[in-house]
Amino acid sequence: MQGVYLILAGTALAAASIFDIKTREVPDWLNYGLIIIGIGLHCLEAIIYSTPFPILESLVGAGLMFGLAMLMFYGGQWGGGDSKLLIGLGATIGFNVSVFTQPFNLAEMPLLFNFLVNLIFIGVFYGVFWSSYLAIKKREKFVPEFRKNLVKYRHYRISLFIAVFLFLIISFFVANFLLKLLLFSIIAVLVIGFYIWIFAKSVERSCLFKYVEPKQLTEGDWIAKDVFVNKKYITGPKDLGIEKAKINLLIKLKRQGKVKKILIKEGIPFVPSFLLAYLFTIWAGSFILLAQNLII
């Protein structure tokens, strides 16, 4: 039934990617449906083959993804829809528990493990690509913000240039080629990392924040600024996504003239990176293993 699981997971990821790009959210019916169907099919497989292992693999897969999803959700990196989709993916693909009883072998790691490894690399490239797209699309806002941040964080820039200068001086006194290469690598990481950080902050401030009417809010939207009415807290960033009840309250307060537009932060539609990582995993296995084979 492995083929059925792979097709189901791939179809769900494709549908979720379309929803995420168009609406910036993945519907609960898709996420919960994937979780229920994934566990249900594994239960059916357990009955057919008279073994509890398919159920165990499904629950372990869902549990591992639940841990990762909660870590990313409460870290403010993913929304609730992305998190629930990952849990459904874990429940559907499952995690081969026999790997815990065998010597570590990267070539024989479960598909779910390879997917997570690939997601790290592909997620970074995807994030840079999408941020670059936003920066170009909204360049009239991005460019001034980027320049402002360069001035705002000039002290960090000065410290960086001092560190780079010191590393360059040290490199002239290093004879070992590998050590010299390491020093130049550190310099490159420091410089590139700083400008990527400035770039990311500029994209966030210029492209991802916008004011909307309360009736335009959807459940799970990230509120970027605290909302108070008569010194009473209504909602804000600490809510980690607004609930339906608070949306209705804001709509009511808007009608009463007590609130105006709400500042929200739009996240990058990250689900397509899940699909890309999944397809890459089916095609090539582990990114690390592929890189290792290319080097060797």
Condensed to tens digits (0 to 9), the pLDDT of residues 146-157 reads: 999 989 888 888
pLDDT at res. 80: 73
Q: Interhelix angle for 111-137 vs 271-284, to 10°?
A: 130
Sorted by where each begins, the domain ranges of the chain are 2-102, 135-207, 209-265
Q: Which residues are CB-contacts of 98 (< 8 A; sequence separation ≥ 6)?
A: none
pLDDT in tens, the chain (296 residues): 788 999 999 999 999 999 988 887 888 899 999 999 999 999 999 998 888 888 999 999 999 999 888 887 776 666 677 888 999 999 999 988 776 666 666 667 788 888 988 998 898 889 889 999 999 999 999 999 999 998 988 888 888 888 888 888 887 777 777 777 787 888 888 888 888 889 988 988 888 888 888 888 877 778 888 888 888 888 888 877 788 888 888 998 888 888 888 888 877 888 999 999 999 999 887 777 666 565 55
Give dist(CA 260, CA 284) in Å, integer. 51
Q: 3-state DSSP call for residue 296?
A: coil
Is residue 233 within a helix (H) or strand (E), and if so which, with residue range?
strand 232-235
Beta-bridged to residue 235, according to DSSP, are 227
The full DSSP string for 135-180 is: HHHTHHHHHHHHHHHHHHTHHHHHHHHHHHHHHHHHHHT---HHHH
What is the DSSP annotation of 66-100? HHHHHHHHHTTSS-HHHHHHHHHHHHHH---GGGG
